[in-house]
Amino acid sequence: MLRVKPFGIYIHWPFCLSKCPYCDFNSHAVAQVDHRRWRAALLAELDHFATETPGRRPGSIFFGGGTPSLMEPDTIAALIEAARGHWSCLPDLEVTMEANPTSVEAGRFQAFRAAGVNRLSLGIQALDDEALRFLGRRHSATEALTALELARTTFERISFDLIYARPGQTPAQWQDELARALVLAGNHLSLYQLTIEDGTAFSHQTIAIPEDDDAVALFETTQAMTEAAGLPAYEISNHARPGSECRHNLTYWQGGDWLGIGPGAHGRLNGEAMTQERSPGDWLTNVERHGHATATREKLDPAARQEELVMMGLRLATGLGPELLAEAADVLDPRGLTRMIEAGFVIHDASGLRATPSGRLLLNAVLAELLI
């Protein structure tokens, strides 16, 4: 049977109320945004790429950021409507929005739902106020819980993000926080270990994140507790009840195609990798002049495409199925593969190639062994 290649649409909103000290996403705190211009430009870039992708069937739209919950609901509605006009979307189109749990944004959940958002991913990050202050968040734990409750009654599907392995966080504290999170969780949770990214405010401070062994212990606790609660990891940092995985992100991890609209967005289309201009101001003027702001666009050579399939596929608990594995076979080193199987880091059988939980934890080192 012919597999229909998944296809998704990513729309990037690059603005936030303030910049969190750990964040290296393309996100900027600005005093004012000209919503009318931004709406017209996002719609223009969507139109531009629609002409290149006739007949594709989007299964997902993902509003990411930045803080897309600061977008005007009318803009969200116009973009969803435009996508539905350009393409014949799958009947169960997944429309996700990342949102911050401040009261300003929660006040607009109903309008986002009416605009067509059916999945909300809430950036809660921590369940206690001291940790939230450390992470530079603008919401309190109480505000987060209120927003979560409202999200639960507004959207069909919800998820929330937490950041763990924070400085000084003991395993007992994380277990307690995760236990509370699992009681609050719907069918999906994203649990990220704090990483100190170059160029962020945290990278200029002395931030003592847990040593490797402690980080491994925290990760293992996370795997065990989420699994026991029926929300096993389906990807390194993402947990879901089976069937509630984020379809949009699966497109990235399973070698699908997607359009990336907005500043700094990446896309993959018909064997090409592309990026949009990263600076919000330059992106806006480029789109206004040319109808799009594509900064780079290149054909992925077969080896690069295959390496990407392995790197992305092994993030998933299910790994690469037989079809993707066959497509990626040329970049796998048979001796490295044997070593990784013997070390217990990967499994190769009739369902394909997948990393074990310990292999997923050391994925970069495992990939260095596996790839030619």
Ligand X SMILES: C[S@@+](CC[C@H](N)C(=O)[O-])C[C@H]1O[C@@H](n2cnc3c(N)ncnc32)[C@H](O)[C@@H]1O
Give residues in contact with ligand SF4 (CB under 6 A). 16, 19-20, 23, 25, 27, 65-67, 100, 123
State in angstroms the smallest separation of the CB of 372 from ligand SF4: 36
Q: How far apart are CA 105 and CA 101, in angstroms?
A: 7
Applying the rule CB under 6 A, the residues between 15 and 44 that interact with ligand X are 16, 22-23, 25
Q: What H or E segment, with its residue span, contains residue 220? A: helix 212-228
Three-state secondary-structure class, residue 57 = coil
Q: Which stretch binds ligand X (CB under 6 A): 47-55, 61-69, 112-120, 356-364?
A: 61-69
Q: Does 96 bind ligand X (CB under 6 A)?
A: no
Q: Which stretch binds ligand X (CB under 6 A): 53-61, 63-71, 217-225, 276-284?
A: 63-71
State in angstroms the smallest separation of the CB of 330 from ligand X: 33
Q: Does 218 bind ligand X (CB under 6 A)?
A: no
State in angstroms the smallest separation of the CB of 340 from ligand SF4: 34
Q: Does 161 bind ligand X (CB under 6 A)?
A: yes
Burial 285-319 (b: 16+ CB within 10 A, else e): ebbeeeebbbeeeeeeeeeebbbbbbbbbbbbbeb
Between residues 121 and 169, which has the closer beta carbon with respect to ligand SF4? 121
Q: Does 300 bind ligand X (CB under 6 A)?
A: no
State in angstroms the smallest separation of the CB of 341 from ligand X: 31
Three-state secondary-structure class, residue 114 = helix
Three-state secondary-structure class, residue 16 = strand
Q: Does 132 bind ligand X (CB under 6 A)?
A: no
Residue in 14, 59, 65, 319 binding ligand X, rule: CB under 6 A: 65
State in angstroms the smallest separation of the CB of 194 from ligand X: 5
DSSP codes of every residue in 345-360: SEEEETTEEEE-HHHH
Q: Which stretch binds ligand X (CB under 6 A): 35-43, 189-197, 275-283, 320-328?
A: 189-197
Backbone angles phi, psi at 257, to 5 degrees: -105, 150
Output Rg (C-alpha) for the chain, integer angstroms: 21
Residue 192: name its binding partner from ligand X, ligand SF4, none (Cβ under 5 to 8 Å by kind).
Answer: ligand X
Q: Which stretch binds ligand X (CB under 6 A): 168-176, 188-196, 255-263, 307-315?
A: 188-196
State in angstroms the smallest separation of the CB of 20 from ligand SF4: 3
Q: How far apart are CA 90 and CA 28, in angstroms?
A: 33
Q: Does 123 bind ligand X (CB under 6 A)?
A: yes
Between residues 10 and 87, which has the closer beta carbon with respect to ligand X? 10
Burial 182-207 (b: 16+ CB within 10 A, else e): bebbbbbbbbebbeeeeebebeeeeb
Residue 19: name its binding partner from ligand SF4, ligand X, none (Cβ under 5 to 8 Å by kind).
Answer: ligand SF4
- List the end-to-end C-alpha distance of the chain, in Å, as a whole number: 31
Q: What is the x/- site pattern for ligand X, positions 259-278, by CB under 6 A? A: --------------------
Tokens of 14: 């690059």
Q: How far apart are CA 353 and CA 350, in angstroms?
A: 8
- Own/partner pairs, 308-314, CB within 8 angstroms, 24+ separation: 308/255, 309/255, 310/367, 310/370, 310/371, 311/367, 312/252, 312/253, 312/254, 312/255, 313/253, 313/254, 313/255, 313/353, 314/346, 314/353, 314/354, 314/355, 314/359, 314/360, 314/363, 314/366, 314/367, 314/370
Q: Which stretch binds ligand X (CB under 6 A): 38-46, 187-195, 209-217, 307-315?
A: 187-195
Q: Does 195 bind ligand X (CB under 6 A)?
A: yes
* Positions in the binding site for ligand X (CB under 6 A): 16, 22-23, 25, 64-65, 67, 98, 100, 123, 125, 161, 163, 192, 194-195, 197
